[in-house]
Amino acid sequence: MSSTTTKNGRIGDILLEVKGLKKYFPIQRGLLRRTVGYVKAVDDVSLYVRSGETLGLVGESGCGKTTASRCIIRLYEPTAGQVFFKTRALSPDGTPKMVNLLELSREEMNRVRQEIAMIFQDPINSLNPRMTVADIIAEPMVIHGKYVKGESEERIIELLRRVGLRPDHLRRYPHEFSGGQRQRIGIARALALNPSLVLCDEPVSALDVSIQAQTLNLLQDLQEEFKLSYIFVAHDLSVVQHISDRVAVMYVGKVVEMAGAEELYNNPMHPYTEALLSAVPKPDPLYKSDRIIMQGDVADPSNPPSGCYFHPRCQYAVDLCKQKAPEFREVKPDHWVACHRAEELKLRGI
Amino acid sequence: MAVAAAPAVPAKRKELSQSYWSLVWYRFKKNKLGVFGGILLIVLYVSFALIPEFLAPYALENRSQFVEAPPTPIRFVDEQGRFQAPFVYGLERRVDMVKRLRTWVPDTDRKYPVRLFVQGDEYLLLGLIPMNIHLFGIDADPREARIFLLGADALGRDYLTRILYGGRLSLLIGLIGQFLTIVLGMTLGVISGYYGGPVDMFVQRFTEFLAAFPNIPLFMALSAAIPNYWSPIAVYFMLTIILAFLGWGGLARQVRGLVLSLREREYALAAKSFGASDRRIMFRHLLPGTTSHVIVIATLSIPGMILAETALSWLGLGLRPPLTSWGTLLQDAATIRAIRFTPWLLWVVPPILLTIFAYNMLGDGLRDAMDPYSGRG
Ligand SMILES: Nc1ncnc2c1ncn2[C@@H]1O[C@H](COP(=O)(O)OP(=O)(O)OP(=O)(O)O)[C@@H](O)[C@H]1O
Ligand code: SF4
Ligand SMILES: [Mg+2]
């Protein structure tokens, strides 16, 4: 699992590896704010990203995708786990080394943040309404003391051009732009410091369908040009299908399956993935719908079921599933699944 | 159609390209009452705080023999019914047999023309430029005759002069005090809202303590703690600080509430994700979102502060003579004897009311202009 060819033909080493990441939010009640329980928003997430590739992170609303990506960059302090990231920011001569981000001091972490950028879901809320586009894009440079008058202004204009905006947009305020344009501003800001990893938290789900494709294409072009790696969060498999090299599927705080995109779409090994795939719209109108309707609701992360979290909704569940939580294991090379019956089941892909 | 309309788009865009503050200004300008309040305040502050020396006909402590002289009206018609340039009569001492009191009555034999820009007491304009020109006055030896548009006090000092000078301390205490309140309230509010936890707990309980504590006893205790050998100016600043200290709690709570909601905005998270320091997030991203509210709250609470100074000085807890403020003037005016025999001392009340009205008009205008619900916040 150390290096393979990505969809785009690039060879990549591991850039980011997350192991056993957990984030429990305390539920507090009453005047004294007593903790009465925990929302297990992220409960054992393991995944990795190779440099230059896109990892799609897919799951239903509320399954913890946002929380997981924010934990990676420590916007939230994880409850447990490890996040290894290959960074150049911490060695004086810029040689890359693997460090556990969760063990870094605040100051060290802030330096590493030059190399991990984030694109947010809501393009209105993620841009400060009181700042001009120029100030917004300049901010990461200013924070890291890399803003040089003149030179940086040129770079900002260059970035604006690159994401398809005009230099005369510089002095405008976010509210003067359309949703798609705002998201481009956010993308330009994310690129300001030449990051190696970009966490895209549903960057297109708030946009019009017509603009979604444009924005996705832009992100792919930029990846090519700047050698970026993406974690691309989405809530259905169809969005990530075209842009992901590999896909990780989350269910109630856990990654249940992770594999190369082609492999996952053709040979899903987790019943939940199979159900999600059955909901992906087919191009052929004559294709008879065989959508798997899952029974019951998504499990409650503050009170998850026993054993395999998916067992109340799983049509293949056996007794073991209620008692024992399945381990997340590599069933085939580069194909990871958390299901007791992964090998025996013959599941349908597309 | 579409082709013809196209060139209009860039022009429209340009017009829209305004910052939040230019939008606020644009909306504020349309509010007549608010603009009027603002202009009135500028006039009040210029005349009372900046140049009272020039507007007043005499120096603040210039005493005279004309003890408790009533206002001398400016006349245009003399006793024979002839029109004349404006003048005032001299004053003659009489004993009023009804009131059993010595009073001053006009002496129609002596007439003194009222002039603009007359020479008189020396002063430093704005504390810098030595001058002796006063806006108006009479051509007369001040020992012989004076102009008292609003009468004189018990030491024969011109009361208009005293009101003009007194405004400086009263108006500035509102402004300086509010400034301190804003600095304290915003800083503690944003820290409390941003960090939460024990810091928040402490700030919250402290503001509650301040709010729950009865103000007058607290103030008595604090002002009793001011040593009486302090110079009047030191007392003045101490009073300002005390007023600010008592007033920041409410503002801090409001700012905290706003910060709590702004903190979850993704732009604050975005700044954090790029490695921004707490200070940068608080002061660059969170505080600017609260300024419009703070300005409105502050504008509307300056009158309270001016009134507090007035009330406390009136109670004898605030400024003391020889400092002259509207509060100390009110102290002289609000006695039965003064109301009975020297009612013109109540002329100090209209400027206080005018200031309060002006601040409220301005504050309402600003609130409407910045109303977060009427447009973009
Ligand atoms: N700050 C928080 N405090 C308490 N609970 C939280 C917090 N943030 C998220 N949660 C809970 O954690 C769970 C996962 O939330 P998260 O936002 O990560 O989901 P998501 O997969 O990103 O969903 P969506 O697709 O709707 O964005 C949800 O049940 C949510 O209610
Ligand atoms: S472990 Fe059992 S319940 Fe869970 S997905 Fe596999 S078969 Fe279904
Ligand atoms: Mg989310």
pLDDT digits (tens, 9 = 90+) for B279-334: 898 888 888 888 888 888 888 888 887 787 777 777 777 777 777 888 888 877 77
> A168-198 burial string, b = 16+ CB within 10 Å, else e?
ebbebbbeebebbbbbbbbbbbbbbbebbbb
Query: Is the peptide bond preceding residue A268 cis, with omega within 30 degrees of 0?
Result: no
CA distance B287 to B259: 7
What are the CA-CA distances from residue A274 to residues A52, A267, B123, B373 (Å)?
28, 9, 91, 46
Q: Which residue has tokens 């915003």? A: B186
* Nearest Cβ partner for B376 among A129, A172, A186: A129
CATH 1.10.3720.10 residue ranges in chain B?
Answer: 163-369
Does residue B159 register a pLDDT over 70? yes
Distance from residue A253's CA to the centre of ligand 3 (Å): 12
pLDDT class of B345 with cuts at 50, 70, 90 = confident
Distance from CA of B270 to the nearest CA of A (A): 6
Question: How many CB atoms are closer than 10 A to CB B184?
Answer: 18
Q: What length is written for chain B?
A: 377
CA distance A194 to A223: 11
- As given in the structure block, the two tokens for residue A62 are 């509320």
**Which of B:289-318 have CB within 8 Å of A?**
289
Look at strands B129-138 and B101-125 and give their pairing: antiparallel
| Mean pLDDT, chain A, whole residue set | 87
> A278-310 burial string, b = 16+ CB within 10 Å, else e?
beeeeeeeeeeeeebebeeebbebeebbebbbb
Helix B215-224 with B232-263: angle, nearest 10 deg: 130
**What is the amino acid identity at position B125?**
L
- As given in the structure block, the two tokens for residue B21 are 């503050």
DSSP helix/strand/coil, A153: helix
The finding on whether A254 has its CB within 6 A of some atom of ligand 2 is no
Burial class (CB in 10 A: 0-12, 13-18, 19+), A95: exposed
- What's the pLDDT score for residue B376? 42
* Nearest Cβ partner for A75 among B13, B269, B285: B269
- As given in the structure block, the two tokens for residue B254 are 């409001």
The finding on whether A249 has its CB within 6 A of some atom of ligand 2 is no
Of all helices (H) and strands (E), which one includes residue B90?
A: strand B83-96
Helix B159-195 with B288-314: angle, nearest 10 deg: 140
Minimum-distance ligand to the CA of A254? 1
One-character DSSP codes across B205-268:
HHHHHHHHS-HHHHHHHHHHTS-TTS-HHHHHHHHHHHHHHHHHHHHHHHHHHHHHHHHTSHHH
Could you tell me if residue A295 is left (phi over 0), alpha (psi between -120 and 50 degrees) or otherwise beta? Answer: beta
Distance from CA of B332 to the nearest CA of A (A): 50
CB contact under 8 A, B269 and A122: no
Q: Which residue has tokens 């979850």? A: B264
CA distance B152 to B66: 7
One-character DSSP codes across A166-220:
-GGGTT--GGGS-HHHHHHHHHHHHHTT--SEEEEESTTTTS-HHHHHHHHHHHH
Minimum-distance ligand to the CA of A58? 1
Cβ atoms of A348 and A264 within 8 Å: the answer is no
B contact test, residue of A128, A141, A194 with most B CBs within 10 A = A128
Torsion angle of the four alpha carbons A81, A84, A87, A92, in this order, in degrees rounded to the nearest 10: 80
pLDDT tens profile B249-260: 888 888 888 888
CA distance B139 to B144: 11
Taking CA atoms only, the protein residue closest to ligand 1 atom 28 is: A62
CA distance A258 to A248: 4
Chain A residues with CB-CB distance to B271 below 8 A: 128, 139, 143
Does residue B1 register a pLDDT over 60? no
Q: Touching check for B260 and chain A: CB below 8 Å? A: no
Chain B residues with CB-CB distance to A176 below 8 A: 13, 16-17
Q: Touching check for B201 and chain A: CB below 8 Å? A: no
Q: For domain B163-369, give the CATH superfamily.
A: MetI-like (1.10.3720.10)
Cβ atoms of B267 and A185 within 8 Å: the answer is no
Distance from residue B233's CA to the centre of ligand 2 (Å): 80
CA distance B115 to B253: 54
Of all helices (H) and strands (E), which one includes residue B172?
A: helix B159-195
One-character DSSP codes across B3-24:
HHHTTHHHHHHHHH---HHHHH
pLDDT class of A83 with cuts at 50, 70, 90 = very high
What are the CA-CA distances from residue A60 to residues A21, A237, A275, A301 (Å)?
19, 10, 12, 13
Distance from CA of A114 to the nearest CA of B (A): 7
- What's the pLDDT score for residue A288? 61
Instruction: Dump strand ranges (E) for chain A.
Output: 4-5, 11-12, 14-29, 34-50, 54-58, 80-87, 97-100, 116-119, 197-201, 229-234, 246-251, 254-260, 329-332, 335-337
Question: How many CB atoms are closer than 10 A to CB B128?
Answer: 7
* Nearest Cβ partner for A143 among B20, B276, B288: B276
| More confidently predicted of A65 and B89 | A65
Note the maximum CA span of chain A. 68
The finding on whether A311 has its CB within 6 A of some atom of ligand 2 is yes
Q: What length is written for chain A?
A: 350
DSSP helix/strand/coil, A77: coil
The lowest-confidence range among A69-73, A183-187, B153-157 is B153-157
Torsion angle of the four alpha carbons B104, B105, B109, B110, in this order, in degrees rounded to the nearest 10: 50
Of all helices (H) and strands (E), which one includes residue A322?
A: helix A319-323
Displacement of CA A89 from its chain's centroid (Å):
22
The finding on whether A235 has its CB within 6 A of some atom of ligand 1 is yes
pLDDT class of A9 with cuts at 50, 70, 90 = very low
Return the closest-CA partner of residue B134 out of B146, B152, B143, B144.
B146
CA distance A192 to A207: 23
Chain B residues with CB-CB distance to A171 below 8 A: 17
The arrangement of strands across the sheet holding A80-87 comes to A34-50, A14-29, A80-87, A97-100
Q: Touching check for B17 and chain A: CB below 8 Å? A: yes
What is the number of alpha carbons within 13 Å of residue B203 lying toward its C-beta?
Answer: 27
* Nearest Cβ partner for B270 among A126, A129, A172: A126
| Mean pLDDT, chain B, whole residue set | 79
- What's the pLDDT score for residue B209? 83
CA distance B291 to B192: 16
- What's the pLDDT score for residue A2? 42
pLDDT tens profile B209-239: 877 877 777 777 777 777 777 777 777 777 7
Chain B residues with CB-CB distance to A75 below 8 A: 269, 272-273
A contact test, residue of B13, B273, B286 with most A CBs within 10 A = B273
A contact test, residue of B13, B267, B279, B293 with most A CBs within 10 A = B267
pLDDT tens profile B120-137: 778 887 878 888 878 888
Return the closest-CA partner of residue B366 out of B33, B5, B9.
B33
The finding on whether A301 has its CB within 6 A of some atom of ligand 1 is yes
What are the CA-CA distances from residue A83 to residues A99, A255, A308 (Å)?
8, 15, 24
CA distance B203 to B194: 12
CA distance A311 to A304: 11
- As given in the structure block, the two tokens for residue A174 are 């976010």
pLDDT tens profile A153-203: 899 999 999 998 988 888 888 888 888 899 999 999 999 999 999 999 988
CA distance A216 to A231: 13
Chain A residues with CB-CB distance to B275 below 8 A: 109-111, 113-114, 140, 143-144
The finding on whether A41 has its CB within 6 A of some atom of ligand 1 is yes
Look at strands A197-201 and A229-234 and give their pairing: parallel
Long-range contacts of B323-327 (CB under 8 A, 24+ apart): B323/B169, B323/B232, B323/B235, B323/B236, B324/B60, B324/B162, B324/B165, B324/B166, B324/B169, B325/B166, B325/B169, B325/B170, B325/B173, B326/B163, B326/B166, B326/B167, B326/B169, B326/B170, B326/B351, B326/B352, B327/B170
How many CB pairs below 8 A link A and B? 72
pLDDT tens profile A289-311: 667 777 777 788 888 888 899 99
Q: Touching check for A75 and chain B: CB below 8 Å? A: yes
Whole-number CA gyration radius for chain A = 21
Phi and psi at residue B26, to the nearest 5°: -60, -45
pLDDT class of A24 with cuts at 50, 70, 90 = very high
CA distance A274 to A293: 11
List the beta bridge partners of residue A45: A21
Taking CA atoms only, the protein residue closest to ligand 2 atom 1 is: A339
